[in-house]
Amino acid sequence: MFMTLLMLGLVLFFVPHLMSVLAPGARASLKGGLSDKAFKGIYALVSWAGLILIIWGFYQSWYGGGGDQQVYTPPAWGRHITMLLVLLGFISLGASHGKGRLRLFLKNPMSIGIVLWAAGHLLANGRLADLLLFGSFLIYGLLDIATARGRGKLPSYMPNPRSDVIAVVVGLVLYALFLLVIHPYVFGIHV
């Protein structure tokens, strides 16, 4: 049952996002006569519903919900590389909201952050639920990076060095928060 919730959540979350990446014309026709505000509201509600189902289904799969079967054995060094990749991923996420050189260099820092986070988790976890969750985010992130130029989503501005400092600080704070609070106390997973 919980694997079904996880998969339903992945579909609800990724279908709207993939339409933006792979089929912007279909997304525009779906928008139809809706106002921009109404369309974004529906988009956000569907995405949030998907995210809630993803978290709930994934969390429950840890407790025998069908996703705990081992698909592959991660390498012994995978956990250590994961720590580095997730740290870099959070710094990339921090860079996605500023106007620094880091964002200009990465070009698509949000998706790069998602790819680093997902790839790292796939190196450290080999259960079915992990493969579904992190594999889906990895594929989405790679698709978004690959199609960004065609959609005109590459940044162009005069960089502000302050934004790079903020990106690193935000990344470090998020990393510490997830490592010390969210992973052990919210997800019950000590890293």
Reported as a single tens digit per residue, the pLDDT across 62-72 is 776 666 788 99
What is the reported pLDDT for 119? Answer: 97
Q: Does pLDDT of 174 surpass 80? A: yes
Mean pLDDT of 119-128: 94
Supply the pLDDT for residue 64. 67
| HEC assignment per residue over the chain | CHHHHHHHHHHHHHHHHHHHHHCHHHHHHHHCCCCHHHHHHHHHHHHHHHHHHHHHHHHHHCCCCCCCCECCCCCCCHHHHHHHHHHHHHHHHHHCCCCCHHHHHHCCHHHHHHHHHHHHHHHHCCEHHHHHHHHHHHHHHHHHHHHCCCCCCCCCCCCCHHHHHHHHHHHHHHHHHHHHHHHHHHCCCCC
**What does the pLDDT read at residue 65?**
65
**Does residue 92 carry a pLDDT above 80?**
yes
Supply the pLDDT for residue 135: 97
Q: What pLDDT is recorded for position 58? A: 87
Percent of the chain with pLDDT over 90: 53
| pLDDT band for position 138 (cuts 50, 70, 90) | very high
More confidently predicted of 126 and 189: 126
Q: pTM (2 decimals)?
A: 0.88
